[in-house]
Chain A
Amino acid sequence: MLEIKQLHKSYAIGDSSLHVLKGIDLSVAQGEMVAIMGSSGSGKSTLLNIIGMLDEADEGDYILDQVPIKNLTEKKAAIYRNKFLGFIFQSFNLINYKNALENVALPLYYQGLKRKERQEKARFHLQKVGLLDWETHLPSELSGGQKQRVAIARALASDPKLLLADEPTGALDTTTSYDIMAFLQQLNDEGKTILIVTHEEDIAAMCKRIVRLRDGVIMEDKKVTQVRAELHV
């Protein structure tokens, strides 16, 4: 699914530069559910953003679904983001003046689908996250958990191969967090590849593999027995 070799990333801070990722090697196969852990500032988000093509690496190779991701034009990058990737953010990042259905339908608009088709698909995914009754609500009228579920529905709408979630439960209480995790597990059961950045051990334990970062390198990478979230709900 994805293959990363000797990935480096630095940020320029004033005159000096901060070396955040110092040679990451990582490969993820189809159908995996991976937790990326590490202390704050260890570079988890940086890694996920590069995987999600929201940011670019300075050095190293990144191959996504057999496509080398390097020096892409903005136009190409837009197409890959749209086709291959689905994002879930800690702060949801819904468009505040669009209602739930319109938010979910937006990636489909950029896929060039017809309006009717978009709405049909968007409804299907809203129903999947259990929010069909809320389709006309604006983000400001939804709870944190509901917003995150709309964001998940939106991430799923374009049927991406890889789902990327940066602390998807970071802004939610425990019960709601498990709710969301249960849903992500269900998606993974259906075959979706999922990468989750988290610093909560219980959330990580609900994945099938845990990658730990420290000082810009992978310190530990192990498969774990998945804890089913629905048992805790």
Chain B
Amino acid sequence: MFDIDFWREIFQSINKNRTRSLLSGFTVTFAILLFTILFGLANGLSNTFAEAFVDDAANAVFIRSGATTKAYKGMQAGRRIQFRNEDYKYIKTDFDDNVEFITSRIYKNVAASFRNEKNNYSLRAVHPDHQYLEKTKVYKGRYINQRDMDIKTKVVVIGKLVKEDLFLKVDPLGKYINLSGIPYKVVGVFADDGGDDEERLLYMPLSTAQQVYGNNDYVDQINLTYKPELDFNQAIDFGLDLEKKLKERFLVAPNDQRAVRVFNMAMQNKGITQMTSVLGIIILIIGMGTLIAGIVGISNIMIFIVKERTKEIGIRKALGASPKSIVAIILIESIFITSIAGYFGLLLGVGILEWAGPSLKTYFITNPSVSTSLVISATLTLIGAGTLAGYLPAKKASKIKPIVALRDD
């Protein structure tokens, strides 16, 4: 039955009944287009969420200090809490079971110069573990290491933009950069996905900075990552426990929100994960909704087409068409139109997403796109629905007595 003549019949019918073909095709194109765009936008939204946290490790915990706001155990309010190296060691040893990487941090602003180029930068003095916490990508040379810590070497690792600012075309490795009058040897250059600000930075061994800036053992902040095998709840419990113990250690009231602050990414992540799954459900509903609308549309059109063709079916039957050939001609035509139209909708949708994608960044939509397989499955679903929707009326039409189909009314 699927010979060239059969297809000739189909093409003639499609071609000669353009309005009908276009209308039914348009419904499918529109459904797939909408499906693609909505799905793409939703994907873009969840990409934005994912991207917001590529800068830092997803399992990070930041510990900062401030002044107490409450009097506690005979201590006055307004006392400044200062972390020191011993606090770092305390966390590292006492929470060893849960801590993956840990680093202290000191912040400084420095005026840097190399030959004739000068600029001001932020400096972070850190432990070697900091590299993993910040996802720093050293693409030239090396990062701070334990030996630097032990002997307090005067070395720095510079950001890509610092290198571009100060060193221009010169290879910075092994060169000496001047920071507020003291020369430091550049041992590495790094990139960071966190953006320009993260690449306009210098890293220095913590011990070196402590010696140079004040000769003390103060640290501004302690960052760590918890072990990845902890689940959300364990990670949150760990963070709360850490906070509680630190508050005890510094004689800070348990409900003091400023003196010791433990920011736990797990809390954040739990929210994001929930948000993402809500988003996923919304996406699913949108997708289903569009598809159902498409299915209803196609079903209506199929019923309409069969009705419109009833007389033609009667004529064909009077001329000797078998019921099977009647069903086939209607169904194959609809499948053909649906496939082409669906494909067209896919191309259009992907095209629009690609074209509009970059300008949507302002609306928290990053790289909106859909997987081709998803859209193809959607199209196949529509084709299946169209086939099913068309089959019943086509079957019915193929069974009516020719005389009924031919009646002039």
Binding site for B on A (CB under 8 A): 49, 52, 54-56, 74-75, 78-79, 81-83, 87, 89, 91, 93-95, 97-98, 102, 106-107, 109-111, 115, 154, 158
Report whether B17 and A97 are in contact in the complex, using a CB–CB cutoff of 8 Å. Answer: yes
Q: Which of B8, B17, B315, B398 has the most CB of A within 10 A?
A: B315
User: Quick check: which of B52-60, B332-340, B352-360, B401-409 contacts chain A, the rest being far away?
Assistant: B401-409
Report whether B403 and A75 are in contact in the complex, using a CB–CB cutoff of 8 Å. Answer: no
Q: Which 5 A-B pairs have the closest CB atoms?
A: A82-B320, A97-B16, A54-B403, A110-B320, A107-B319
Question: Could you jot down 23 A-B contacts, CB within 8 Å?
Answer: A49-B403, A52-B318, A55-B401, A55-B403, A56-B401, A74-B323, A74-B398, A79-B320, A81-B319, A81-B402, A89-B406, A93-B311, A93-B314, A93-B406, A107-B319, A109-B5, A109-B9, A110-B320, A110-B325, A111-B320, A115-B4, A154-B319, A158-B319
In angstroms, Cα B321 to Cα A74, docked, is 10
Report whether B401 and A110 are in contact in the complex, using a CB–CB cutoff of 8 Å. Answer: no
B12 at the interface (CB under 8 A from A): yes
Report whether B406 and A78 are in contact in the complex, using a CB–CB cutoff of 8 Å. Answer: no
**Contact partner, B319, options A56, A91, A110, Cβ 8 Å:** A110
Given contacts A54-B401, A78-B323, A98-B12, contact A93 B318 (CB under 8 A): yes
Contacts of B318 in A (CB 8 A): 52, 54, 81, 87, 93
Contacts of A78 in B (CB 8 A): 317, 320-323
Contacts of B12 in A (CB 8 A): 97-98, 102
Q: Which of A78, A95, A158 has the most CB of B within 10 A?
A: A78
In angstroms, Cα B322 to Cα A75, docked, is 5
- Which B1-25 residues have C-beta < 8 A from chain A? 4-5, 8-9, 12-13, 16-17
B64 at the interface (CB under 8 A from A): no
B399 at the interface (CB under 8 A from A): yes
In angstroms, Cα B16 to Cα A110, docked, is 20
Report whether B320 and A83 are in contact in the complex, using a CB–CB cutoff of 8 Å. Answer: yes
B312 at the interface (CB under 8 A from A): yes
B316 at the interface (CB under 8 A from A): yes
Given contacts A91-B408, A95-B312, contact A74 B319 (CB under 8 A): no
Contacts of B13 in A (CB 8 A): 97
Tally of contact residues, B, Cβ under 8 A: 29
Q: Is the interface of A mostly helix, strand, loop or mixed?
A: helix
In angstroms, Cα B8 to Cα A91, docked, is 27
In angstroms, Cα B314 to Cα A56, docked, is 15
Q: Which of chain A's residues has its CB closest to B15's CB?
A: A97
In angstroms, Cα B325 to Cα A111, docked, is 12
Closest chain-B Cβ to A112's Cβ sits at a distance in Å of 9
In angstroms, Cα B9 to Cα A111, docked, is 15
Q: Which of chain A's residues has its CB closest to B405's CB?
A: A54
Contacts of A115 in B (CB 8 A): 4-5, 8
Contacts of B401 in A (CB 8 A): 54-56
In angstroms, Cα B314 to Cα A87, docked, is 12
The interface bits of chain B over 375-409 (1 if a CB of A lies within 8 angstroms of the residue's CB, else 0) are 00000000000000000000000110111001010
In angstroms, Cα B5 to Cα A93, docked, is 22
In angstroms, Cα B16 to Cα A115, docked, is 20
In angstroms, Cα B315 to Cα A98, docked, is 12
Report whether B320 and A158 are in contact in the complex, using a CB–CB cutoff of 8 Å. Answer: yes
Contacts of A154 in B (CB 8 A): 319
Q: Which of chain B's residues has its CB closest to A73's CB?
A: B323
The interface bits of chain B over 83-105 (1 if a CB of A lies within 8 angstroms of the residue's CB, else 0) are 00000000000000000000000
Contacts of A75 in B (CB 8 A): 322-324
Closest chain-B Cβ to A7's Cβ sits at a distance in Å of 15
In angstroms, Cα B291 to Cα A123, docked, is 48
Contacts of B9 in A (CB 8 A): 109
Q: Which of chain A's residues has its CB closest to B325's CB?
A: A110
Report whether B320 and A107 are in contact in the complex, using a CB–CB cutoff of 8 Å. Answer: yes
Contacts of A102 in B (CB 8 A): 12
Contacts of B408 in A (CB 8 A): 91
The interface bits of chain B over 295-330 (1 if a CB of A lies within 8 angstroms of the residue's CB, else 0) are 000000000000000011011111111111100000
Report whether B316 and A106 are in contact in the complex, using a CB–CB cutoff of 8 Å. Answer: yes
Q: Which of chain B's residues has its CB closest to A160's CB?
A: B320
In angstroms, Cα B322 to Cα A97, docked, is 21
In angstroms, Cα B305 to Cα A89, docked, is 24
